[in-house]
A and B are shown apart, each in its own frame.
Chain A
Amino acid sequence: AQTVTQSQPEMSVQEAETVTLSCTYDTSESDYYLFWYKQPPSRQMILVIRQEAYKQQNATENRFSVNFQKAAKSFSLKISDSQLGDAAMYFCAYRRGINTGTASKLTFGTGTRLQVTL
């Protein structure tokens, strides 16, 4: 079974600074996707960024980028120029590849609560 581990329950960053959230995962499969989801208080979870395992290039989305280390099974999220609106729970998630014939369900980590201070 696949597992996703987030070892940082809480992180804090000053506005305009950079912060990195850590995630490790365990799988025996070669075809999979990794995601970072953001869950603001009392609001729905939204996708921040995703990474296909077969791609060597790290994904980037504006101020968000990942450091995908496939051999180490590590998938960290870097948030640059942090903004107050970035404050939320961040979940790392794993999904098996589209060719595996499975339900494509997501396996989540326990989350990291990010605080952004002035």
Chain B
Amino acid sequence: DTGVSQNPRHKITKRGQNVTFRCDPISEHNRLYWYRQTLGQGPEFLTYFQNEAQLEKSRLLSDRFSAERPKGSFSTLEIQRTEQGDSAMYLCASSLDPANTEAFFGQGTRLTVV
């Protein structure tokens, strides 16, 4: 296992289209996080899964956003009816449990909405 994997690395889409990103965490990690990073800013928390349960969602996660983690393995983040303001880097991170405080990040998916 080489770490957290995110696909695609880059996505260009037209405004109004739907997009879906995938995150494959480190295999034994039960916690999975999605963050969004805009230019010149630090990552901002979007949502969190513990195994297959989505336990927390940020106010940043509007109703156009949905995330899933079926069977507690990989996760998908879907954005419906994309807007130009959705252009950002979407980062996924995973960690093992509360006793292990280190989160490992993927390389991210850069979304550009034109």
Whether, in the assembled complex, A107 has its beta carbon less than 8 Å from a beta carbon of chain B, the answer is: yes
A104→B95 contact, CB < 8 A: yes
Given A103-B56, A105-B56, A108-B42, is A47 in contact with B106 using a C-beta cutoff of 8 Å? no
Counting contact residues on chain A (CB < 8 A from B), the size range is: 20 to 34
Give CA–CA (A106, B108) in the complex, Å.
16
Residue from the list B50, B101, B106 in contact with A95, Cβ < 8 A: B101
Residue from the list B42, B102, B108 in contact with A50, Cβ < 8 A: B102
> Please, what's the 1-or-0 string for A15-58, where 1 marks a CB less than 8 Å from any CB in chain B?
00000000000000000010001000011111100100000000
Whether, in the assembled complex, A83 has its beta carbon less than 8 Å from a beta carbon of chain B, the answer is: no
B residues 1-40 touching A (CB-CB < 8 Å): 3-4, 31, 33, 35, 40
B43→A106 contact, CB < 8 A: yes
Q: How far is the CB of B91 from chain A (nearest CB, A)?
A: 7
Give CA–CA (A33, B99) in the complex, Å.
12
Interface size on B, residues (CB 8 A): 27
Whether, in the assembled complex, B45 has its beta carbon less than 8 Å from a beta carbon of chain A, the answer is: yes
A33→B48 contact, CB < 8 A: no
Give CA–CA (A46, B105) in the complex, Å.
7
Residues of A within 8 A of B41 (CB): 110-111
B99→A45 contact, CB < 8 A: no
Residues of B within 8 A of A103 (CB): 33, 45, 48, 50, 55-56
- 7 cross-chain CB contacts under 8 A: A44-B108, A45-B93, A103-B45, A104-B48, A104-B101, A105-B48, A108-B43
